[in-house]
């Protein structure tokens, strides 16, 4: 009588170190990560343009400071 050698829950013919196939539902996909990074880069670009652009916050603050200095004279 031949015995089937199954040890530690490993079926005959399979390797003990074989990993289960990854499921589609686990973790963040690479596409979702890339889309998130692209959206963040677009938001950063818009913010930088609003702060340092020709009609940006820093330019308008300098103009307001200059106008206020002229009024005090």
Which pTM does this prediction carry? Answer: 0.52
Asked if the structure places residue 3 within a domain, the reply is no
Number of domains observed in the structure of the chain:
1
| pLDDT given at position 62 | 93
Q: Identify whether the C-beta of residue 50 lies closer than 8 Å to the C-beta of residue 56.
A: yes
Report the DSSP beta bridge partners of residue 10.
7
Q: Which residues of the chain have pLDDT under 50?
A: none
Token duo for residue 59: 């330019």
Q: Is residue 16 part of a domain?
A: no
Structural domain of 58? 47-73
Q: What confidence score (pLDDT) does residue 41 get?
A: 97
């Amino acid at each position: 009588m031949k015995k089937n050698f199954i040890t530690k829950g490993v079926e005959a013919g399979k390797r003990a170190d074989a990993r289960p196939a990854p499921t589609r539902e686990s973790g963040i996909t690479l596409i979702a990560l890339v889309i998130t990074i692209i959206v963040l880069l677009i938001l950063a670009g818009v913010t930088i343009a609003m702060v340092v652009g020709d009609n940006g916050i820093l330019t308008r603050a300098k103009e307001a400071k200059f106008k206020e200095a002229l009024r005090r004279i």
